[in-house]
Each structure stands twice: as structure tokens, then as C-alpha cells.
Amino acid sequence: MKVIRIIRLILLFILPFSILTAQETEREGKKKIEILHADLMANRGEMRQLLGNVRFRHKETYMTCDSAHFFPDRNLVEAYSKVHIFKGDTLHLYGEYLLYDSEAEFAYVRDSVLLIDNETRLNTDYLEYDMVNETATYTTGGRIINEDNVLTSKIGIYYTEEEVFNFKDSVKLVNPDYTMHSDTLKYDTVSEIAYFLGPSEIVGDSIYAKCNRGWYDTKNELSLLMDDAFIDNEVQIVTGDSLYYENDNGYGTAHHNVTIRDKEQDIIVKGNVSWYYQEPERFMITDSAEFIQVNEDDYLYLHADTLRSITISDSTMNYRLVKAYYGCRIYSEDIQAKCDSLAYSFRDSVIRLYYNPVLWSEANQLFADSMALITKNREMHKMELYNNSFVIEEVDSARYNQLKGKNLFGYFRDNKLYKIEIRGNSEKIYFAIEDNELIGVDQSTCVNMDIYIEDGKISEIYLMDNPEGTLDPPLYKTPSLRRLENYAWYQAIRPKNRYDIFRK
């Protein structure tokens, strides 16, 4: 029994040292650099000098060169001329000088450095290669070639296992179709996707884009630009917080603070959610949607729940048709309008308003079942009101001049309404004023009526075809009883400025 206890004590004492020795031997084996070949080898104290077709191995990594200094005690190699490091069949590193520290498993390569990993080639003057983390880093400028893409930067880190590059400072990616500049870029060589991690811009033959974050799939030509994103494709300028585009399909989406400007038509569309197709060109925008037409210093603003634009082709031409749905409001300095929906054809420059449209021109309010506004050179030229047409002019808070009939035609000069023609079933209530004194109330009917407007107010009225009427004393009836059928005063919903079009 005593012998057994003694043996147990010896084993308990020896075994830990045996385990430590085995572990130490295993670690030394992992660190040890093997000399596989050299034409000449000489011992120089703690250093071995090797010349001609020098070949080393450390674990699964092989190194070749013309000459080397090997320090066995430190497991360190300095290699010179035609240095080649390779691991497996895909990763190859070349240079003219190598310092390899096997304990740290770190390689320092300089002078005409070339790293090849599958289809990717990296050129630089100085490279640090971490064998443990499998990363290659340069800080003095480098160039990467991957198929059709050539990328340069001052600082770069290549993660060889994932085949991903991180670039920093003066990053430039050149492709046959465009050139990309960035502050910080991540590039996946397998998927060929570039991720923008800082201010970036893309310049092509017919496109310019910039953003602060995003990504671009160079293989499939897909892109997502975020954070102050901007795209100029020569025809339109698009901005927003997030812009997504598929080049092959000509399809894109945009979100938040979206602005689309058509440089040819000089129109601007705004909103927070949008999609777009290039062929045939069409788009939709909603969520605070706004349409702006620019004419020198004059602007026409339109708001609706949803705006759509489509391109229509016929035998003679292609033209744009813009449609607005639900809660439309229009504001310009000269006219304002409200309706449920409208359509704007760029072929004939006509805006057609539907479902209870109301239009205001200076002191005049006009409404009908439907309405068409005809423009020329981006200025109001003519308006046409169909069925139950009504014109109202405020005299004071209780009195209103009223003109109505079946259809109405209005004519503009310099964006100002100067003549109105009412055709069919014309009626009139008109408060005659002379020297600021009310002298009578004219209530008449006829078939047709012409009205002339001066300085925004009715100046002359001509009754034609079977006119009939009376001129009553001023107080013959209370003003509130002087109302034609279907009278309505909509001043409360009249847009007062460009921002008021968003009022519910």
C-alpha cells in the first residue's frame, strides 16, 4: 500500500511537467521554420546565410527567395530578391525583401510587392501580412485589380479568408463605365460589391452620383445610395435620403426627402416615397407629394396625395402625362385651385381638373363640374369650365356678384384673367356701385354672356340672346337672399401660399 501511494505521488508530481513539456514541444513545433533547400549555406554565429534557390516552410506556408538570413534561435527569416510566399494554390505574395517572424506569425514585405488571391491582384510598396488573422495591410498606397475594376487608395486592409478589402483615404475605383471616389470603402472581391462608408461620388459618361453611405454591386449594376444621396443622369437630377437603382432594368426607388428634377421640362417633383422606370419612362411619388413647374421667376406648385407620370407614345411623338390623385391643391401668384384629381398633358399643355374643381383668379372664384386650364409657354392662356359653371366676385362681406351658366371660357393675358364667356343658360346677380355707393342690384338671365375684367374685378358685362332682368333698389332684398342656385363661397379653402397647399 505504501508503494502504491508513493507511485501515485510521483505520478502527481511528474505528470504536470510532462504535460507542460509536451505543450511546449508542440508550440515549438508550430513556431519552427524549416529549411527545405539552399544551394549554399554557411553559419555566421547565431545566423545562417543561405544562397541560391532558397526554400523555407513554416506550417502550411512556403517561402522562396534568392538569398536569406535565418536566425534559428529566434525563428526569424530575412529574405532578399525574388521573394515568394504562398499558402495553398490561391494565395501568393511577392516582393524583393521579406522579414518573417514565425513567433508572431507576421510577414513584412517591401519593394514591388504583389499579392495574388484568385482573381484579385494587389500592388504596393510595403505590406504587412498577419498569418494568424489572415490580413494584409498597406499604408503607403496600393492598387487592386479585380477583373474590370481597378482600385487605388493610400491605406488598405485585405481579409484573405473572406476576400474582402477595406480602403481608406483617397480611394478610387475605376471601371470601364465609371470612376468612383470615396473617403472609405469596403470591397468584397467575391460578390464584387463596393460598400461606401464615407463621402463618395461616382462619375460616368452620362451619370454623376454622390452619397455619404451606401453600396454598389459592380457585377449586377445595382446600387443603394444613402445619406444626402444625389444622382444626375443628364435628364433628371434625383436626391433623397435613400436611392436604390437597378441599371439593367432601369428601375429605382427613393425614400425620404425625395426630389426629382427634369432638366428638359424644367419641372420638380418632391415627396418621401417614390419608384421610377426608365423605359418607358414613368414614376410615382407619394407622402407629401409636390409638383413644381418653373417658368423663369414664376412657379406653379401642386400638391396631392399621389403623383404619377407616364410617357405616352403615338404616331407623331412621345409626351409626358402627369396625374395627381386625391386632395389636389394648386398655388401660384396669379391663380389658385383645388380639386379631387387632375391630369396634366405635356402634349397640349392642358391641366384637366376633376371632381368639384374650384379656381381663384385675384378677386374671382370659379367652379364647375370639371375644368381645363390651357397654358402656352408655361403661362395661363385659356380656361374651360364644363357644366354648372359659376363665377363669384366678393363685393363686401355680405354681397357677392354672381354669374353662372352651362359652360364657361376664360381668357388670360400675362397670366391675368381679362375676359369670361358664359355659354348657355346664363344668369347674373350684380351689385351696381358708383362712386363707392351701391345704386342697385341687377338680376338677369340670357342665353350667352360676356364679362370683361380689369385689375382683377368685373368691369363690363354684356348679355346676349333673349336677355331679361330687373334692377332692384339696393335694399329691396337682404344681401343673404341674393343667391343663385348652387351658390357656394369657398374662400376658406383657398391656398394662401405655396406651403398652404399641404393644409388638410
Residue 361 CB neighbours (<10 A)? 23
Give the DSSP letter of residue 502. G
pLDDT confidence band for 16 (50 / 70 / 90): very low
Beta-bridged to residue 301, according to DSSP, are: 292, 331
Which tens digit of pLDDT belongs to each residue from 391-421? 999 988 888 999 999 999 999 998 889 999 9
Per-residue pLDDT, averaged over 210-230, amounts to: 92
pLDDT confidence band for 433 (50 / 70 / 90): confident
Cα–Cα distance between 39 and 2 in angstroms, integer? 62
| Whether residue 234 is found in the same domain as residue 260 | yes
Cα–Cα distance between 375 and 335 in angstroms, integer? 12
pLDDT confidence band for 30 (50 / 70 / 90): low
User: Is the distance from CB of 454 to CB of 447 less than 8 angstroms?
Assistant: no
Which tens digit of pLDDT belongs to each residue from 272-289? 999 988 888 889 999 999
| Whether residue 111 is found in the same domain as residue 68 | yes
pLDDT confidence band for 153 (50 / 70 / 90): very high
Helix (H) or strand (E) holding 26: helix 2-31
Q: What is the pLDDT of residue 19?
A: 37
pLDDT confidence band for 102 (50 / 70 / 90): confident
DSSP string, 434-493: ETTEEEEEEEEEEEEEEEEEETTEEEEEEEESS-EEEEE-TTSS-GGG---TT----GGG
User: In this structure, is residue 464 part of a structural domain?
Assistant: yes
Q: Give residue 486's domain range.
A: 343-504
User: In this structure, is residue 53 part of a structural domain?
Assistant: yes
pLDDT confidence band for 228 (50 / 70 / 90): very high
| Whether residue 231 is found in the same domain as residue 375 | no
User: In this structure, is residue 21 part of a structural domain?
Assistant: no
pTM for the complete prediction?
Answer: 0.76
User: In this structure, is residue 17 part of a structural domain?
Assistant: no
Q: What is the pLDDT of residue 110?
A: 94
| Whether residue 440 is found in the same domain as residue 492 | yes
Is the pLDDT at 224 greater than 60? The verdict is: yes
| Whether residue 105 is found in the same domain as residue 178 | no
Burial degree of 402 (CB within 10 A; 0-12, 13-18, 19+): buried
Is the pLDDT at 56 greater than 90? The verdict is: yes
User: In this structure, is residue 154 part of a structural domain?
Assistant: yes
Residue 312 CB neighbours (<10 A)? 14
237, 257, 274 - which closes a domain: 274
Residue 429 CB neighbours (<10 A)? 21
- How many domains is the chain built from? 3
pLDDT confidence band for 426 (50 / 70 / 90): very high
User: In this structure, is residue 333 part of a structural domain?
Assistant: no
Averaged pLDDT of the chain: 88
Q: What is the pLDDT of residue 7?
A: 39
pLDDT confidence band for 31 (50 / 70 / 90): low
Q: What is the pLDDT of residue 88?
A: 77
113, 140, 167 - which closes a domain: 140
User: In this structure, is residue 321 part of a structural domain?
Assistant: no
231: nearest Cα among 216, 249, 248: 216
CATH code: domain of residue 468: 2.60.450.10
Is the pLDDT at 154 greater than 80? The verdict is: yes
Burial 104-116 (b: 16+ CB within 10 A, else e): ebebebbeebebe
| Whether residue 367 is found in the same domain as residue 493 | yes
| Whether residue 359 is found in the same domain as residue 486 | yes
Cα–Cα distance between 51 and 159 in angstroms, integer? 33
Percent of the chain, pLDDT > 70? 94
Cα–Cα distance between 120 and 296 in angstroms, integer? 53
Is the pLDDT at 243 greater than 80? The verdict is: yes
| Whether residue 158 is found in the same domain as residue 233 | yes
pLDDT confidence band for 157 (50 / 70 / 90): very high
| Whether residue 217 is found in the same domain as residue 258 | yes
User: In this structure, is residue 325 part of a structural domain?
Assistant: no
The three cell numbers of residue 435 are 362712386
| Whether residue 359 is found in the same domain as residue 478 | yes
Residue 296 CB neighbours (<10 A)? 8
Per-residue pLDDT, averaged over 101-120, amounts to: 89
Which tens digit of pLDDT belongs to each residue from 315-358? 778 888 999 999 999 999 989 999 999 999 988 889 999 999 99
Which tens digit of pLDDT belongs to each residue from 465-485? 999 989 888 777 887 788 999
Is the pLDDT at 25 greater than 60? The verdict is: no
For 65, 70, 234, 484, 502, the CA distances from 264, given in Å and listed in that order, are 63, 71, 9, 46, 27
The three cell numbers of residue 439 are 345704386
Structural Rg of the chain based on CA atoms:
41
Is the pLDDT at 490 greater than 50? The verdict is: yes
pLDDT confidence band for 495 (50 / 70 / 90): very high
Q: What is the pLDDT of residue 11?
A: 39
90, 123, 140 - which closes a domain: 140
| Whether residue 362 is found in the same domain as residue 503 | yes
| Whether residue 158 is found in the same domain as residue 240 | yes
